[in-house]
Amino acid sequence: MSDTETSSRVTSDAVDQPAAPSSDKTDTPPSRRKLLLALLGLTVAASAAAYGTYYMTVARYHEATDDAYVSGNLVQLTPQVSGTVIAVNADDTQIVKEGEPVVTLDAADAKIALGDAEATLGQTVRQVSGLYVNNDYYAATVAQRESDLSKAEDDLGRRLAVADTGAVSAEDVSHARDAVKAARAALDAARQQAEANLALTDRTTVADHPDVQAAASKVRDAYLAYARNTLPAPVTGYVAQRSVQVGQRVSPGTPLMAIVPLDGVWVDANFKEEQLRHMRIGQPVTLTADVYGSGVKYHGKVIGFSAGTGAAFAALPAQNATGNWIKVVQRLPVRVQLDQQDLEAHPLRIGLSMQVDVNVRNDNGTQLAAATNTQYHTDVFAQYGAQADAEIANIIARNEMTNAKAPASVASSAAAPKRGERKTAATVAGATHTAG
């Protein structure tokens, strides 16, 4: 073998043998792996510690749900009398003020009935006023009859004084006796008439007389029927669900439209059973609305809990007594009152979705509402009664006679003594006399 071949083989063998690994790179990959694992473990531990701290200090004192919606009052506008609609003064999405006329019915028939009732009341007032005037008339009649009786008795006395002397005949004496009896009978009749008239007016006035009160009640009924042809808005709010149309014939109780007072809405948040463990009335609540986003915060407080779950009050409640039964976690509606300033800055509508977060840190309150209850009221319909009373008083004042006096004036008007009078007109009220 030549030297050239020997040299080539040695070189080839040297190339085929692998190079020895460097001692500087032997420990690098394991060290980096350990470092990364250590950093990961520290990060997990720190996160767990941070979450634990957050849960123990903050999260466990908050109960949240997105099953919450805005609720409010839907005030139905319904007629109280039958009639034909001749005007509708508001439409959906428009606002109406309390007391403003919203719907008007044809009041022609009611106006005629009101006119008849007012005329009857005026006539009754005039008739009753005549009764009070008759008190004075009958008192004067009694006084006249007393004077006639006194004169007849004096004439009889004079004739009896000279009867024994023959100055007067027995026939004249007999006629004088008959005149006394006739005068006494006339006085009795006048007293009975005065007492009968006094019984119709005793202890009352023209305005308080039963006949006047009965006629006034008919006027009040007719006036209310007339006034109720105009339907005012019971509250201030926005019109919704308008169904009434001009020309429509409506009857009492027919829903015409709904009025929604958006300044008094609240939120019904449906929490799961286990979320209610520490929830109490009065706890603060933070809310956000989907319509405004998380940037707008609402503030409120828990004001009450529903008396039953949604399933219990459903139209078709679940029947758990059947053979096949699967437990379903129930939800209880919780009412949340919203801050009025937040509502004014960002109005809400009924049915909007809300995100609710209740702070349950202070659970010393109660889950039962207090004894005081919210009361809703309106005065727009009470004005009808006041207007009717004012109209009745006006009719009585126009038709009452100015010289119609109270029954007490009967005695005073006849109290002046008359010539030869033995009894005063005060006896009209019930005094009796002895005949003969």
Per-residue pLDDT of the chain (436 residues; tens, 9 = 90+): 445 454 545 444 544 555 555 444 444 577 888 888 888 888 998 888 887 887 777 778 899 999 999 999 999 999 999 999 999 999 999 999 999 999 999 999 999 999 999 999 999 999 998 888 888 888 888 998 888 888 888 888 887 877 777 777 788 878 888 888 898 898 888 898 888 888 888 888 888 999 999 999 999 999 999 999 999 999 999 999 999 999 999 999 999 999 999 998 999 999 999 999 999 999 999 999 999 999 999 999 999 999 999 888 888 888 888 878 888 899 999 999 999 999 999 999 999 999 999 999 998 888 887 666 778 888 888 888 889 999 999 999 999 876 565 554 444 333 333 333 433 333 333 333 333 3
Q: Cα angle at 94 between 89 and 96, to 5 degrees?
A: 65
What confidence score (pLDDT) does residue 260 get?
A: 95
What confidence score (pLDDT) does residue 10 get?
A: 45
What confidence score (pLDDT) does residue 406 get?
A: 52
- Gap between the Cα atoms of 302 and 335, Å rounded: 6
Please tell me whether residue 30 adopts helix, strand or coil conformation.
helix
- From residue 328, how far is each of 269, 277, 419 by CA, in Å? 18, 18, 105
Output the six-digit token pair for 111.
């106006």
- Partnered with residue 258 across adjacent β-strands are 76, 240
- Identify the sign of the CA torsion 275, 279, 281, 285: negative
What confidence score (pLDDT) does residue 424 get?
A: 35
- From residue 374, how far is each of 282, 303, 305, 323 by CA, in Å? 16, 11, 15, 43
What confidence score (pLDDT) does residue 405 get?
A: 56
What is the helix (H) or strand (E) element at residue 161, kind and residue range? helix 108-162
Please answer whether residues 340 and 263 qualify as being in contact, where contact means their C-beta atoms are separated by less than 8 angstroms.
yes
- Partnered with residue 257 across adjacent β-strands are 77
Output the six-digit token pair for 366.
């109660």
- From residue 60, how far is each of 57, 129, 301, 336, 357 by CA, in Å? 7, 82, 18, 20, 12
- Gap between the Cα atoms of 290 and 18, Å rounded: 70
- Gap between the Cα atoms of 232 and 89, Å rounded: 10
Please answer whether residues 150 and 422 qualify as being in contact, where contact means their C-beta atoms are separated by less than 8 angstroms.
yes
- Gap between the Cα atoms of 305 and 308, Å rounded: 8
Contacts of 404 (CB under 8 A, 6+ apart): 128, 129, 130, 132, 133, 206
Q: What is the DSSP string of 174-202?
A: HHHHHHHHHHHHHHHHHHHHHHHHHHHHT
How many residues does this entry show for the chain? 436
What confidence score (pLDDT) does residue 23 get?
A: 47
- Identify the DSSP state of 431: -
- Gap between the Cα atoms of 90 and 205, Å rounded: 47
Output the six-digit token pair for 38.
């250590």
Tell how strand 266-272 and strand 75-77 pair up.
Answer: unpaired
Tell how strand 257-260 and strand 237-240 pair up.
Answer: antiparallel
What confidence score (pLDDT) does residue 158 get?
A: 80
- Specify burial of residue 55 (Cβ count, 10 A radius: 0-12, 13-18, 19+): exposed
- Identify the DSSP state of 20: P
pTM to 2 decimals?
0.69
- Count other Cβ atoms within 10 Å, centred on residue 175: 15
Please answer whether residues 120 and 392 qualify as being in contact, where contact means their C-beta atoms are separated by less than 8 angstroms.
no
Helices (H), 228-278: none
First to last CA, the chain: 197
